[in-house]
């Protein structure tokens, strides 16, 4: 179900480097940023788009291959109806405005999540944007929209059961991983959450098994290249053992950050 196999950190020890290959970000704090400035919450979401552009550009400059941004969770429908409506309109406007720029810069866009609840016009815009950028390889930008980690796992298992109804004995980790919505990307090396909260919030539950977690009080509209560099520097100082001991890393000549 996937066209490229990536190493599972629970089954094999992946190669690591000082610069993460895949960064996943929960972009938190837009509403609080706006309230601090006596502005409506939606103004923070608009301002947050500038941070998206800055971080995408910074990832390309630093050689990061995959960037996954959590834009709208399956639980965000619980927010006030006018805010949800604004976010949907902002999503549509951003797709129309940014897709040409993404394509010019060699960025492949994917939207992962359950799109069934979105307006058909928005789904069409998403699919057209994905198709337009499908051949790009410089940076793989994934936007998680109406996404939930539990939904992702349940959806993968349901897809496997439909494809293999005879398999009552279950499925392997590799089979489930191949059916997940992010099967085209390696597991994230670095997870960043802005805004001061220290939760994963149902984001990439399967994929974050051995990801390095980084939390910052910086609100998303204030997060840019310098803040990303701080997160990468923190990541660069981590010892990635994947179940091994520090002594084993020394014996094997591994530093935890160089393949």
Whether 143 contacts 110, CB under 8 Å: yes
Does 33 carry a binding-site annotation?
A: yes
Does 31 carry a binding-site annotation?
A: yes
Structure-block tokens of residue 107: 């960025």
Q: Among residues 28, 146, 183, 189, which one is catalytic?
A: 28
Does 121 carry a binding-site annotation?
A: no
Does 61 carry a binding-site annotation?
A: no
Counting DSSP H helices and E strands in the chain, the numbers are 8, 6
**How much is the pLDDT for 6?**
77
Is 183 among the residues known to form the active site?
A: no
Is 226 among the residues known to form the active site?
A: no
* Topology of the domain comprising 22-256: Undecaprenyl pyrophosphate synthetase (3.40.1180)
**How much is the pLDDT for 253?**
63
| Tens digits of pLDDT across the chain (259 residues) | 444 567 787 777 777 788 999 999 999 999 999 999 999 989 999 999 999 999 999 999 999 999 999 999 989 999 999 999 999 999 999 999 999 999 999 999 999 999 999 999 999 999 999 999 999 999 999 999 999 999 999 999 999 999 999 988 889 999 999 999 999 999 999 999 999 999 999 999 999 999 999 999 999 999 999 999 999 999 999 877 766 677 766 676 655 554 3
Does 94 carry a binding-site annotation?
A: no
Does 140 carry a binding-site annotation?
A: no
**How much is the pLDDT for 88?**
92
Closest to 139 in 3D by CA, of 55, 44, 244: 55
Q: Among residues 76, 105, 136, 155, which one is catalytic?
A: 76
Does 45 carry a binding-site annotation?
A: yes
Sign of the four-CA dihedral 42, 146, 94, 200: positive
What residues form DSSP beta bridges with 215? 193
Show Cβ contacts of residue 217 under 8 Å, excluding neighbours closer than 6 positions: 195, 196
Domain boundaries, the chain: 22-256
Does 75 carry a binding-site annotation?
A: yes
**How much is the pLDDT for 256?**
53
């Amino acid at each position: 179900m996937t066209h490229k196999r990536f190493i599972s950190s629970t089954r094999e020890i992946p190669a690591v480097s000082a610069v993460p290959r895949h960064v996943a970000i929960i972009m938190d704090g837009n509403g609080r940023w706006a309230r601090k400035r006596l502005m409506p919450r939606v103004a923070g979401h608009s301002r947050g788009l500038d941070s998206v552009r800055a971080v995408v550009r910074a990832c390309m400059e630093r050689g990061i291959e995959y960037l996954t941004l959590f834009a709208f969770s399956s639980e965000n429908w619980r927010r006030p109806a006018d805010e949800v409506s604004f976010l949907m309109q902002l999503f549509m406007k951003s797709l129309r405005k940014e897709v040409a720029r993404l394509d010019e810069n060699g960025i492949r866009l994917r939207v992962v999540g359950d799109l069934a609840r979105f307006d058909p016009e928005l789904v069409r815009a998403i699919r057209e944007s994905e198709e337009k950028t499908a051949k790009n390889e410089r940076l793989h930008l994934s936007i998680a929209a109406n996404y939930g980690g539990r939904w992702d796992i349940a959806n993968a298992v349901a897809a496997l059961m439909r494809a293999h109804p005879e398999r009552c004995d279950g499925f392997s980790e590799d089979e489930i991983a191949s059916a997940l919505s992010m099967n085209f990307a390696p597991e994230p090396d670095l997870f960043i959450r802005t805004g001061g909260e220290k939760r994963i919030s149902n984001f990439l539950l399967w994929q974050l098994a051995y990801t390095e977690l980084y939390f910052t009080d910086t609100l998303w509209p204030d997060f840019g290249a310098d803040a990303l560099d701080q997160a990468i520097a923190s990541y660069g100082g981590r010892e990635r053992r994947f179940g091994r001991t520090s002594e084993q890393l020394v014996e094997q000549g591994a530093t935890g950050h160089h393949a």
